[in-house]
Chain A
C-alpha cells in the first residue's frame, strides 16, 4: 500500500506499473483559453445601486404602515444637517465637516440616527430634504449612511420653498 491506495500486487499479471502520465498539454490549453475568456469578459469596476424614491411617489409599499409612525426627516444643506422626528427637531444643527479627501463626515448624524432607530425601531423610512447647492456625492453619502443605520426606505425631495 502506498498513500492508502491498493497497488494491485496480487493476481496473475505480475507487477504492472500503476503510474499514469497525465498529459498536461490539453490542460494548459484549457487554462489558457479560460484565462483569455475571463479576462475579456471581466468587469473591473464594481458598481452597485442605492435605491431611493422621490418624496410623494407611490413606489413605497410600506408607506401606509409607516404613516402611523413619526416621520424622520433629514434636512441636508450645503453647510449643515438638521434631523427632525415628526415636527420636532432633534438636537442642534450639525455643521458639515469634511476629511482631507473632501468627503462629508457623518459620525454625529450616524449617532443621532442610531438613537432614533432605538426609539422607533419600526420606522424604516427617511425623507432627505436637499437644498439645491448640495453636491450629488454628499447626498449619496447621507443616503448610504441612512441605509447602513437601517433606514432602508429613503426618499429624496427638494427643500420646500
Chain B
C-alpha cells in the first residue's frame, strides 16, 4: 500500500465524487485582496476641500443652546468678538451668568436692568485697562452682541438695549443665522 499524505480520506465511492475529491475548488486561492486606492484618495480630497470651504476662522463666538433659537437674516456681516448678552425665553444671561428673569422684565415698567449694566460696566473697564496695558492705541468700540431668542417681545429687548446703551455699549449687534438667500430667491453676500 502506497504511503498517503495525512488528512481526510474518503471511501472509494466518495473518492470518485467530484465534490469530496477536492477538484471542485481552486485549492490555492489568494488570501490578499487589492484595495482600490484611487476612489479612496478622491473621496479624501473631496472631503478636505468641502471642510476647508466651510472653515470658519473666527471660531465659535456664541454659545449656542437649545433655549435660544436665533432669527435668520440675509444681509449680514461677520460676527466679531464682543461681550455677549443672551436673551432666552426665560432669562437674560451675560457671559454665562443669569442677570435677570424675562418674566420680571415683562412685568416691570422701567427700562434699566441694573445687574446687566453693572456687568457691562465691569467688562468695559477691563477692556479699556487691557488696551491701556497693551498700548495698542485701539479705542473702545462699544460693540456688544445680543443673542436673542426669536420669540422674545420687544418689551424685553428694549430694556436690554437701554442697559447696553447706558453702560457705554452703543453698537448693538443682533446675532442672526445666515439664511443665505433673500426671500425672493436671490443670493446675497454682504460680508
Given A140-B73, A147-B75, are A35 and B154 also a contact pair (CB < 8 Å)?
no
Report how many A-B pairs have Cβ atoms within 8 Å. Answer: 155
Q: Is the CB of A133 within 8 A of B153?
A: yes
Q: Is the CB of B154 within 8 A of A53?
A: no
Q: Is the CB of A47 within 8 A of B178?
A: yes
Residues of A contacting B: mostly = mixed
The CA-CA distance from A99 to B180 in the complex, in Å, is: 19
Q: How far is the CB of B120 from chain A (nearest CB, A)?
A: 14
A48's contact among B45, B55, B176, by CB below 8 Å, is which? B176
Band of interface residues on B:
35 or more
Residues in chain A near residue B71, CB distance under 8 A: 136-137, 140-141
Residues of B whose CB lies within 8 Å of any CB of A are 37, 40-41, 44-45, 47-48, 51-52, 54-56, 58-62, 64, 70-80, 87, 142, 145, 148-155, 157-158, 161-162, 164-165, 170-178, 180, 182-183, 188, 190-191
10 contacts between A and B (CB under 8 A): A28-B44, A43-B60, A48-B191, A52-B173, A59-B142, A130-B158, A134-B153, A136-B157, A137-B71, A147-B190
What are the 4 A-B residue pairs with the smallest beta carbon separation, nearest first? A48-B76, A38-B51, A59-B170, A137-B150
